[in-house]
A = this chain, B = another copy of it.
């Protein structure tokens, strides 16, 4: 069994970069996502608000590029470090759904 690493986040894409290409020709887009919600924790509602770095690699980067920065979407994917040497975590987006 491959260990689960599954993140679902409804967020708005902000600070989007242009698509770049890896040496192998794979399209990549980096962005920041903005999220705000209330989450239930220990019987009370916690106000949650953050920005987080995200990356979309492959065909999904083209889909990401077309998103409106005024709208919210459901992003699905997994967490990973920015690089092998880095400890910073980045949300790797592998699926995008409209919610509006």
Chain A residues near B (Cβ < 8 Å): 2-11, 26, 35-43, 46, 48-52, 57-60, 72, 74, 78-81, 87, 89, 92, 94
Q: Do B48 and A5 touch across chains, with their CB atoms under 8 A apart?
A: yes
* Copies of this chain: 2
Give min CB distance, A48 to chain B, whole Å.
5
Per DSSP, are chain A's interface residues mostly helix, strand or loop, or mixed? strand
Question: B37 near A57 (CB under 8 angstroms)?
Answer: no
Give the CA-CA distance A26 to B87 in the complex, in Å: 30
| Contact partners of A51 in chain B: CB under 8 A | 87
State A87–B55 Cα separation when bound (angstroms): 18
With contact pairs A52-B79, A79-B52 given, residues A41 and B92 touching in the complex (Cβ less than 8 Å): yes
